[in-house]
Amino acid sequence: MSGRIEKTVDLKAPLERVWRALTDADQFGQWFQVKVEGPFVTGEVARGQITHPGFEHVVWQARIVRMDEAARVFAYTWHPYAVDPNVDYSTETPTLVEFSLEPTAGGTRLTVVESGFENVPAHRRAEAFRMNDGGWAAQMQNIRAHVEG
């Protein structure tokens, strides 16, 4: 198993539209299925309630580490597949999620890379990787529907 997940999707939407879908907390929440509390601010923790069926008990939490419109990169750290309300994930090293955008003839190419799985505790590493690999595949379709719809 590699320590990273990478997914790319070509979107029929202008770069500015995709950027807003990523960095505007309300829009992010619509396609990512989380009710985010407040705006994304670099260096701060964003939180929200997951709205995806079956995961409504989970509080989504991420530290925004980069929101660079000029470089077209939005990044945060989080604890992957942190869904057990009885587990304190705060002592774990988080993974890094980086979204990068590049213009294409037909719109925007969006790439998401989640790295750092080698630092996830061994007893949950494979499951976190598997769930997030599938999760990112689904989220790329969710953002496509959001920005192309």
In three-state secondary structure terms, 100 is strand
Q: What is the pLDDT of residues 81-140, one digit of tens each?
A: 999 989 999 999 999 999 999 999 999 999 999 999 999 999 999 999 999 999 999 999
Q: Provide the domain count of the chain.
A: 1
Helices (H), the chain: 15-23, 25-32, 122-148
CATH number at 73 reads: 3.30.530.20
In contact, 113 and 101? CB cutoff 8 Å: no
Q: What is the pLDDT of residues 45-64, one digit of tens each?
A: 999 999 999 989 999 999 99
Residues spanned by the domain of 103: 4-148
